[in-house]
């Protein structure tokens, strides 16, 4: 080996931790191509935490001297402060966050630092770091969803008796209460939080000790490390543990569902804020104007949330595709999991936060809503139900009301515009008492079954939602 090569392998600034068997330097282009330090440094604090637990266990088990474990802990604490203050020097040529920290440690504490990697591989290390990271983000997202649910509840309570048109096929269907509408979204985000909590159970498993792929011959104590890091159990198969990214895919699918719900809400707000609907006024602070059309107030926030949904779905599909052809156990392809994961987390966190702020400040336009709920035959079903009450089979009642609607459409009027004579001409069973049931209020109040839009049912639903939110709190229960 020429001298210059030998010096390259011992120069602490540029040599690779795995450089021993190599005769030739890594191509600069390959370094650039394979480096992940610029994005996986996001895992630095989890990496340090995992290394501290590992080193403490090695000392407890007599695998490294106690003084070395102490030196490692102290060195890692210094590195943590340097990273926090921005003083830490990241080196792309050291590939990733793990080797950056390990090299810095060895430079600080010498041989002790070089003992840290005993009974460990970057393969179980990165799997551990990522699980710790996802566990933290689950908790953060759960907290943000909690705030969003508070906004939805606030919105529900703020106009408790306001009636709006309910739609199916985006056609006027039946009147519903304003709070009923917001509580529908409350339920979606409740399921999302429950899903995250389920997911956490499978995330919170410790792979450390699987080493490169086959476990290790050192007398390690995996259970102790798992407990130290707050994991609820250890992984059961080393091949699976280092090559498994199911937990990320499951998490991304939960995030996709959150975005799906946010996107439906966004779509509705874009429609509702349009002059065609005119149901709501969005807060100025959440809208933008047009550089050419002075009259414009655009709902950019819900539009962007709707747009970013595709991005999160993309990350889910990207990871599903990344994994589908991988043989056991670790493959470098797995490094590609991180940017998708990080971007999905950033996108979801920002989207949930901004929607929580927006939802709390939406104002309904009661005049317009009043006009809309009194047109479009929203109470036609109520007339059919009324006839059923008078003894008609439902299908027959449906037919009678269908004819009544056709007649009204012909005359350009609403059912409520028909005189008592005209109504009883439609069917002799229709009496004076029909007037009350044809109003939006009558229609809503007729629907007090549990989960329905009647005011009593909605009051009970608000109570139930408040109780759920109070009991749940912001934390995902530890398991």
Binding site for ligand ARG (CB under 6 A): 36, 40, 96, 122-123, 126, 330, 332, 334-335
Selecting among 7, 34, 81, 290, the annotated active-site residue is 290
Name residue 177's beta-bridge partners.
Answer: 163
Q: Which CB, 38 or 191, lies closer to ligand ARG?
A: 38
Task: Note if 290 is an active site residue.
Answer: yes
Selecting among 4, 85, 169, 275, the annotated active-site residue is 169
- Give the nearest distance from C-beta 334 to ligand ARG in angstroms: 5
- Give the nearest distance from C-beta 59 to ligand ARG in angstroms: 25
Q: Which CB, 332 or 395, lies closer to ligand ARG?
A: 332
Q: Which CB, 126 or 348, lies closer to ligand ARG?
A: 126
- Give the nearest distance from C-beta 21 to ligand ARG in angstroms: 14
Task: Note if 169 is an active site residue.
Answer: yes
Q: Which CB, 231 or 330, lies closer to ligand ARG?
A: 330
Q: Which CB, 96 or 102, lies closer to ligand ARG?
A: 96
Q: Tally Cβ neighbours within 10 Å of residue 314.
A: 15
- Give the nearest distance from C-beta 29 to ligand ARG in angstroms: 18
- Give the nearest distance from C-beta 12 to ligand ARG in angstroms: 20
- Give the nearest distance from C-beta 30 to ligand ARG in angstroms: 13
Q: Which CB, 216 or 309, lies closer to ligand ARG?
A: 216
Q: Which CB, 36 or 443, lies closer to ligand ARG?
A: 36
**8 A C-beta contact, residue 405 and residue 380:** yes
Q: Which residues have CB under 8 Å from 144's CB, separation 6+?
A: 349, 352, 353, 356
Rounded distance, CA 152 to CA 182, Å?
6
Q: Which CB, 69 or 329, lies closer to ligand ARG?
A: 329
Q: Measured between alpha carbons, how far is residue 58 from residues 46, 52, 61, 72, 423 in Å?
A: 18, 10, 5, 11, 87
Tokens of 74: 């102290």
Rounded distance, CA 476 to CA 139, Å?
6
Rounded distance, CA 367 to CA 278, Å?
10
- Give the nearest distance from C-beta 104 to ligand ARG in angstroms: 16
- Give the nearest distance from C-beta 97 to ligand ARG in angstroms: 8
Active site residues: 169, 290
């Amino acid at each position: 080996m020429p001298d210059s090569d030998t010096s390259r392998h011992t120069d602490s600034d540029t040599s690779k931790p795995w450089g021993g068997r190599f005769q030739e330097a890594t191509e600069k282009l390959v370094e650039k191509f394979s480096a992940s330090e610029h994005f996986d440094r996001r895992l630095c604090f989890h990496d340090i935490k995992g290394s501290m637990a590992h080193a403490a266990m090695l000392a407890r088990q007599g695998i490294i001297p106690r003084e070395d474990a102490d030196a490692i802990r102290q060195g890692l604490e210094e590195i943590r402060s340097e990273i926090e203050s921005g003083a830490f020097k990241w080196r792309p040529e050291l590939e990733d966050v793990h080797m950056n920290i390990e090299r810095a440690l060895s430079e600080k504490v010498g041989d002790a630092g070089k003992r840290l990697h005993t009974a460990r591989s970057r393969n179980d290390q990165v799997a551990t770091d990522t699980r710790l990271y996802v566990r933290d983000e689950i908790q953060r997202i759960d907290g943000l969803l909690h705030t969003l649910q508070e906004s939805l509840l606030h919105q529900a309570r703020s106009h408790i008796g306001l009636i709006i048109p309910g739609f199916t096929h985006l056609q006027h269907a039946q009147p519903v209460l304003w709070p009923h509408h917001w509580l529908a979204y409350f339920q979606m985000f409740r399921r999302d939080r429950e899903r995250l909590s389920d997911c956490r159970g499978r995330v919170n498993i410790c792979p450390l000790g699987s080493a490169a792929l086959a476990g290790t011959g050192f007398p390690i104590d995996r259970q102790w490390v798992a407990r130290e890091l707050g994991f609820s159990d250890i992984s059961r198969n080393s091949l699976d543990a280092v090559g498994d990214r199911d937990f990320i895919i499951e998490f991304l699918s939960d995030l996709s569902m959150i975005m799906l719900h946010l996107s439906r809400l966004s779509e509705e707000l874009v429609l509702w804020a349009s002059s065609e609907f005119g149901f709501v006024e969005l807060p100025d602070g959440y809208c933008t104007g047009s550089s050419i059309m002075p009259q414009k107030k655009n709902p950019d926030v819900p539009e962007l949330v709707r747009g970013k949904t595709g991005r999160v779905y993309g990350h889910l599909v990207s990871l599903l595709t990344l994994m589908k052809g991988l043989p056991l156990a670790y493959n470098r392809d797995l490094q590609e999991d991180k940017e998708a994961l990080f971007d999905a987390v950033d996108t979801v966190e920002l989207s949930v936060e901004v929607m929580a702020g927006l939802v709390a400040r939406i104002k309904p336009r009661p005049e317009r809503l009043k006009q809309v709920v009194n047109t479009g035959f929203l109470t036609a079903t109520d007339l059919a139900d009324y006839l059923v009450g008078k003894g008609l089979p439902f299908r027959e009642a449906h037919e009678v009301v269908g004819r009544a609607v056709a007649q009204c459409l012909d005359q350009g009027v609403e059912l409520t515009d028909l005189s008592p004579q005209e109504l009883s001409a439609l069917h002799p069973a229709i009496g004076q008492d029909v007037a009350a049931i044809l109003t939006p209020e009558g229609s809503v109040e007729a629907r007090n079954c549990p989960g329905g839009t009647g005011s009593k049912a909605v009051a009970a639903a608000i109570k139930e939602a408040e109780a759920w939110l109070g009991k749940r709190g912001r934390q995902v229960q530890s398991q």
